Structure 1
Amino acid sequence: MNSIRVLAAGSLRLVWPELIAAFKAHQRMNVETEFGPAGLLCQRIQQGETCHLFASANAAHPQTLLTSGKALSVAVFTHNQLCLSVKTALISASADWLALLTDPSLRVATSTPQSDPSGDYTWQLFDLIEQHYAGRGNALKDRALQLVGGPKSPVVPAGEMAASWLLENDRADIFIGYRNYAARLKNLKTLTVLDIPSPFQVQADYALAICQAEAQPLADFLLTAQAKRILQQAGFSC
């Protein structure tokens, strides 16, 4: 039986087993997957680590591999958005998402830009806030605690979500992360999930890079209607 190795963005961890199970129902192929911040995974591939397929939380890293000759092709296969997770005790009737986010007394945690696409998308959010409210977006960049996805970030325990782990252990008051976790986070009474409205919302484009031809069947499956349904049910958008 053929076997392929996948390096995949950490935000795909929860939905990946269902995707692979659906794929293997049609293909006799073993899939070994390792998850991590997409920026750091991309660096490993560039440095020569064996990878048949790279599933990134942005399109920039796969495109970098394609440009450098480390990938055969690239395709966007799903999308995500950002949301805020806030300690419920901090929520009041008069405090909307922006008032909470820009309150200088509250600790705002993010992923790490460049290492983790979630951090890059968050910095795009800060830029949008800066365009509408001069000074506020730049102040958020200065205040943000980059606690996830960096080479020296604290390790989130297996089975935990970064947002709940950081907030429930009092490492932050607000966490900006991916919306695909929202349904699970909303089950926690200690946390409240707030959507980010347009025109501030940032779309996260997830792209795959075929690094070796053996991964073509899996890449093809991830672009099917069946895979898109699985991703949508898990909180992604297609």
Structure 2
Amino acid sequence: MSMPLYILAAGSLKRAFIPLCQQFSASTGIPVKIDFGPAGLLRERIEAGERCDLFASANTLHPQTLLNSGRAQAAETFAFNRLNLTARKTAQTENADWLALLANPALRLGTSTPGCDPSGDYTWQLFTRLEARYPALTLKARAQMLVGGRESLSVPVGEIASAWLIRQNLTDLFIGYAHYAQALENTDDLRILAIPDEFQTRCEYQLALINANAEPLARFIVGPDGQTFLRQAGFLTLDGE
């Protein structure tokens, strides 16, 4: 049997990468072991010497950092994402638009953790743009960093952070990745709201090739089969779809 490939991947990739890697293993006979987590913390594990053959990050900063330090052999983009807003559906929130919800100080606002998790970094970029246009929003001061950090809550396996946090009454609003919308669109207790293009953050996902033996998996991810798995999970793929 072939030696397994060890993959560290951003947690947002779980719904795409589990079936993707299963298909890769079935096609090639190469087993894959994946550990998911906040990409910033995964990069730190690689820098500390943990075994990793391929790193899939939710941003370009962490792969490029590994490339520049000589820990990665190559880095390439493989998918894109956007941000959206998930809100608890109540009489108070049911008819409000995304901006009115963010502007309501009575509603608790949850995010991921900047620095540790690219979702948090992208959210802070969004807040910077919004506060420049609407200074009264003070979103960064209001936001509670609930997941994605070193001491954050652990979201149960199979749960989507935004939905779980709201249903646990830990927040009323959550800024997160838009690819989860398709999994939440038929829920009766949540509202999923798009954020207009003028405020959007381009969430660019990159691979860092740490060991050349993972090159076949990297090629599978950027190839037609891998891109299909990503598209089915709600990501924007290299062909623009």
Q: Are positions 1:223 and 2:203 aligned together? A: no
Q: For the Cα contact (< 8 Å) 2:16–2:232, is it kept in 1? A: no
- Separation in structure 1 between the aligned mates of residue 142 and residue 102 of structure 2, nearest angstrom: 10
- Separation in structure 2 between the aligned mates of residue 109 and residue 214 of structure 1, nearest angstrom: 39
Q: CA RMSD in A?
A: 1.1
Q: For the Cα contact (< 8 Å) 1:2–1:28, is it kept in 2? A: no
Q: For the Cα contact (< 8 Å) 2:39–2:58, is it kept in 1? A: yes
Amino acid at match of 1:15: A
Q: Are positions 1:198 and 2:200 aligned together? A: no
Q: For the Cα contact (< 8 Å) 2:114–2:124, is it kept in 1? A: yes
Alignment of 1:1-238 (within 5 A): 1-89=2-90, 90-93=92-95, 95-136=96-137, 139-238=138-237
Structure 2 length normalisation: TM-score?
Answer: 0.94
Q: Does 36-45 or 24-33 show the bigger shift?
A: 24-33
Amino acid at match of 2:106: S
- Separation in structure 2 between the aligned mates of residue 81 and residue 121 of structure 1, nearest angstrom: 9
Q: For the Cα contact (< 8 Å) 1:2–1:30, is it kept in 2? A: yes
Q: Tell me how many residue pairs correspond in the alignment.
A: 235
Residue by residue over 1:24-59, the C-alpha shift from the partner in whole angstroms, topping out at 9 and shown as x without a partner, is 243121100000000000011011111000000001
Q: Percent identity?
A: 48
SS at match of 1:13: helix
- Separation in structure 2 between the aligned mates of residue 171 and residue 129 of structure 1, nearest angstrom: 24
Segments of structure 1 that go 5 or more residues without pairing to the other structure are none
- Separation in structure 2 between the aligned mates of residue 140 and residue 29 of structure 1, nearest angstrom: 46
SS at match of 1:78: strand
- Separation in structure 1 between the aligned mates of residue 147 and residue 226 of structure 2, nearest angstrom: 28
